[in-house]
């Protein structure tokens, strides 16, 4: 199975590069909105397109990937909220284990069902330890997963969870406040996780400005994810991308 994407991410981490991923919902209302987001991602030299959501109401995943790939060469990585969100048209997928929860279906159950389809699609999988963090409100991710997020003020829980994920063989740690999060994950929590694992760290949820993105990168994030904010104001993509890339080591 291909390893191009995980090699890219890991090498970037080793070199101290900070990256931006633009999260796209396949349910994006119309093609004009999608075109605008991808255009801005191209202008900003975004590093990845993450595609997916906790709940999809339209069967438009393949169509969305085709549309994105017709507009950009940025790698498209699936961020699946369920086993229904699998497509061989993508460059890779985050093979997510919800290690912050205790729902066995999201730790291994759904993965067993999805594995043969992923193998048949020859889709590169990125083993990802996914940690939901309380963001001030219940998000779609926490509701749909039936799991309690890590409390916002408990960095030691996040650190131990990430540590266990690394020991289990995860290749990435993704800490997420969820779509529409009120608050971003604290620098203190990110720093605690950074000290606990030698893996690339992805941070998403509640990132609405360049200042927050820089703070998150300096705390230890390697990939910053913007989603809702970029849908509401696509110009933020370039602003945040420039800020994130400037944090990278020379």
CATH number at residue 154: 3.20.20.390
**Is 228 assigned to a binding site?**
yes
Domain total for the chain?
1
**Is 175 assigned to a binding site?**
yes
- What domain range includes position 113? 5-248
Nearest of 235, 185, 181, 175 to residue 210 by alpha carbon: 235
**Is 169 assigned to a binding site?**
no
**Is 205 assigned to a binding site?**
yes
**Is 178 assigned to a binding site?**
yes
Q: Residue 123 contacts by C-beta under 8 Å, 6 or more apart in sequence?
A: 1, 78, 86, 87, 88, 90, 92, 93
**Is 180 assigned to a binding site?**
yes
What's the pLDDT band for 182 if we cut at 50, 70, 90?
A: confident
**Is 54 assigned to a binding site?**
yes
pLDDT exceeds cutoff 70 at 35: yes
User: What is the CB neighbour count within 10 angstroms for residue 239?
Assistant: 16
What predicted TM-score, i.e. pTM, was given to this entire model?
0.95
**Is 165 assigned to a binding site?**
no
**Is 144 assigned to a binding site?**
no
**Is 206 assigned to a binding site?**
yes
pLDDT exceeds cutoff 80 at 59: no
Q: What is the mean pLDDT of the chain?
A: 93
**Is 143 assigned to a binding site?**
no
pLDDT exceeds cutoff 60 at 138: yes
Question: Which residues are 77's β-sheet partners?
Answer: 50, 92
What's the pLDDT band for 207 if we cut at 50, 70, 90?
A: very high
User: What is the distance of C-alpha 30 from the center of its chain?
Assistant: 22
Contact 124, 10 (CB under 8 A): no
**Is 134 assigned to a binding site?**
no
Q: Could you tell me the two tokens for 44?
A: 């900003």
pLDDT exceeds cutoff 60 at 115: yes
What's the pLDDT band for 99 if we cut at 50, 70, 90?
A: very high
Which pLDDT belongs to residue 178?
85
pLDDT exceeds cutoff 70 at 29: no
Q: Residue 58 contacts by C-beta under 8 Å, 6 or more apart in sequence?
A: 26, 27
């Amino acid at each position: 199975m291909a390893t191009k994407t995980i090699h890219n991410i890991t090498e970037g981490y080793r070199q101290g590069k900070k990256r931006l991923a633009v999260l796209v919902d396949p349910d994006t209302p119309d093609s004009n909105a999608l075109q605008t987001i991808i255009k801005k991602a191209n202008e900003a030299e975004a590093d990845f397109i993450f595609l997916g959501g906790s709940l999809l109401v339209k069967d438009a995943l393949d169509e969305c990937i085709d549309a994105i790939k017709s507009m950009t060469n940025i790698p498209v990585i699936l961020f699946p909220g369920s086993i229904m969100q699998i497509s061989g048209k993508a460059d890779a997928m985050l093979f997510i284990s919800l290690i912050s929860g205790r729902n066995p279906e999201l730790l291994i159950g759904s993965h067993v069902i999805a594995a043969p389809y992923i193998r048949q699609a020859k889709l590169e999988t990125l083993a990802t330890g996914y940690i939901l963090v309380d963001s001030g409100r219940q998000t779609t991710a926490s509701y749909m997963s039936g799991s309690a997020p890590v409390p916002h003020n408990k960095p030691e829980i996040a650190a131990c969870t990430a540590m266990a994920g690394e020991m289990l063989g995860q290749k990435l740690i993704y800490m997420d406040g969820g779509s529409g999060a009120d608050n971003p994950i604290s620098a203190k929590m990110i720093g605690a996780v950074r000290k606990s694992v030698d893996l690339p760290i992805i941070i998403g949820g509640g990132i609405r400005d360049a200042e927050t993105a820089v703070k998150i990168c300096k705390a230890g994030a390697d990939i910053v994810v913007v989603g809702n904010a970029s849908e509401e104001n696509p110009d933020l993509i370039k602003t945040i991308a420039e800020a994130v890339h400037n944090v990278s080591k020379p």
